[in-house]
A and B are shown apart, each in its own frame.
Chain A
Amino acid sequence: MSRESLFNAAVLLGLIAFPLWAWSVDEPFMITLATKAAILALAGVGLNIALGLGGLVSFGHATFFGIGGYAMGVLASHAQVFDPIFTQPFVFEGSKSMPVIWLFAIVFSGLAALAIGAVSLRTSGVYFIMITLAFGQMFYYFTISWPAYGGEDGLSIYVRNGFPGLNTLDPIQFYAICFTILALVLLFNARLARSAFGLALNAARQSPMRVETVGLNPYRLRLVAFVISGMITGLAGALFADLNRFVTPSMFSWHLSGELIVFIIIGGTARLLGPVVGAVVFVGLEQVLGGLSDYWHIYLGLLLLFIVLFARGGIIGGIAGREAAHE
């Protein structure tokens, strides 16, 4: 086993042990904190498929996070007041069921990723960064100025949505759902990276011309990766909305897109667990530094600056040493 695999196993064990410990000593806030980290990690894992594997620096992944959030908000808000979303050609009342909400979140964020990716991937480099950023802002301002679903104030859901057979209001059970999804997506990510598609995508990142020469279309590979990436981040958005029982346009904000990239960089770019480590560290820092100072963003900024300037490769990069990022 490489040092990176050992570290990864330790991280996953920690993500199981910490909430179980918090549960045993009756600290529901700690479980909620772990849930937040797991959900943000899931969003980061989604972004890492585009950014790490595909080399696509998307600065607009909050778009998909927000769409997932609003999928939950719209479906659940209609269901909780018994006001159908539409009545033609059949009556659709919305839903308070997590699996139904997840399906909508995945489908709609996938469609948005398809449309945004189709336009954005015509460009590359700095244009791609700026365009994805601008698309995110487009959704942000749209939700702010669209009064039907709360506008700037967002939407509140009174009771967390349900999952068959579980009590989602119990923090540890909701955490179990989020962690299971994270684990499944990590498994999928690991398989994807080693599949023919993953290898071709990785090759397209390193040398698009060679990939074209062997008869593959880099644009199509990147678009598929972008859509998969958007769908996973959308699912994370739906879970995040359920964690807070609240959605606002801030889920679309470009700060969040930046933070998702920050997770990946803190943890280590293109590392399987990079975004997970990054999200855990970020949520931990927010808690610890936030308790020490009202101005904790200064320390976060300095830390980030230090990592970018002097400690490239992030935390996992530092632990794994010279081992290659792509095995």
Chain B
Amino acid sequence: MSLILFAEQVLNGLQYGVMLFLMAAGLTLVFGVMGLINLAHGSLFMVGAFAAAAVAGATGSFALALIAALAAAAAAGALVELLVIRRLYDRDHLDQVLATFALILIFSEGTRWIFGSFPLYLNIPSALSGPIALPGGIQYPLYRLTLIGIGLAVAVGLWALIAKTRLGIQIQAGEADREMIAALGVDISKLYTIVFALGAALAGLAGALVGAIQSVQVGMGEPVLIVAFVVIVIGGIGSIKGALVGAILVGLTDTLGGVLLPELFKLFLDNSAASSVGSALASMLIYILMAAVLIWKPTGLFGARA
């Protein structure tokens, strides 16, 4: 394989990785602060994508579509938190898993009911379409490069929000001692709603951005959700840094494994066998990576909680 192709695949892996980070950040934040497993996070990804596709279809503006995705996902997140999630903080993980599983059923069928079973399409804005020349003779789609930029910017912004602002300090304090910060006069239930809506908005943003590369359809959030769980388990649940490292690691492993493993097997198998064994193994690679990390560190790379 040529070096240029390899470099393109690395960029693809990075792009997938930063999108996974947008998903994983919300999950890990909600788990770290509130101790809650939210399976319905993938539904918020889907809500973002559908809101973006609907608004882009009506207005033709990608910027408006992105704003709509953020707003719709944040609103859906806040509503779900107020109506359902807030009753689950004190419950065990089994109840949380089931209630949020029920929310997935409601969100998916509700979306199918409103938009129908056929996929929607969201076009890449014309200003960002087409390839761009990178140093070393690489031609890479500008849109995907923008996604990498947005993802990294969000990572930095999230870090600044948590480390530098008053809200971030309250979030960290809530993670450490819920009762103490309530005693200090912080409205803890409002704080939780805000954190949940923030996580939802990030998922919605990821959905809208990815929706322009894939088609927008019911159930699109679920594969991403599972991979996002793999990311936070690898990174250590509750750790934003872990989510970023885990997301990049998983993004690169998945993308490069899909290209490199069949090539590797071609060294000692015939072509068709090599590509089928290679691709079957590549599809399992991130789960093997996760198992390996957990054998080595049962609470993930940056995790403290068990």
Q: Which residues of A contact B (CB under 8 A)?
A: 51, 57, 59, 119, 122-127, 129-131, 133-135, 137-138, 141-142, 144-148, 254, 258, 261-262, 265, 269, 295-298, 300-302, 304-305, 308-309, 312
Q: Tell whether B237 is near chain A: CB-to-CB under 8 Å.
A: yes
Contact B94 A297 (CB under 8 A): no
Q: Known contacts A129-B97, A138-B284: does B105 contact A304 (CB below 8 Å)?
A: yes
Contact B94 A261 (CB under 8 A): yes
B230 to A: closest C-beta gap in Å: 5
Mask, B9-34, CB within 8 Å of A = 1, is 00000000000000000000001000
Contact pick for B276, options A138, A148, A298, CB 8 Å: A148
Q: Please indicate the chain B residues that have their CB under 8 angstroms from the CB of A300 in the complex.
A: 102, 105
- Once bound together, how far apart are the Cα atoms of A137 and B222, in whole Å? 11
Q: When the two chains form their complex, are residues B287 and A129 in contact, meaning their CB atoms are under 8 A apart? A: no
- Min CB–CB distance A301 → chain B (angstroms): 3
Known contacts A130-B233, A134-B287, A301-B105, A59 near B97 by CB under 8 Å: yes
> Which of B37, B84, B94 has most chain A Cβ within 10 Å?
B94
Interface stretch (choices B44-52, B62-70, B132-140, B292-300): B292-300
B223-268 interface with A by 8 A CB criterion? 226, 229-230, 232-233, 237
Q: Out of A131, A135, A262, which one reaches B98, CB within 8 Å?
A: A262
The answer to whether B102 touches A127, judged by C-beta atoms less than 8 angstroms apart, is no
Q: A218: shortest Cβ distance to chain B, in Å?
A: 14
Question: Out of A59, A122, A131, which one reaches B233, CB within 8 Å?
Answer: A131
Q: Mark B39-58, 1 if CB is under 8 A from A, else 0.
A: 00000000000000000000
How far does the alpha carbon of A325 sit from the alpha carbon of B214 in the complex, in Å? 48
Which B residues fall within an 8 A CB radius of A? 31, 37, 84, 87, 93-95, 97-99, 101-106, 108-110, 112-113, 222, 226, 229-230, 232-233, 237, 276, 279-280, 282-284, 287-288, 290-291, 294-295, 298-300, 306
- Partner of A298 from B101, B113, B306 at Cβ < 8 Å: B113
Pick the residue among A141, A145, A295 that contacts B112 (CB under 8 A): A295
Contact A302 B106 (CB under 8 A): yes
A137 to B94, CA, bound (A): 19
Query: What are some 6 contacts across the A-B interface (CB < 8 A)?
Result: A131-B294, A144-B283, A304-B99, A309-B84, A309-B87, A309-B99
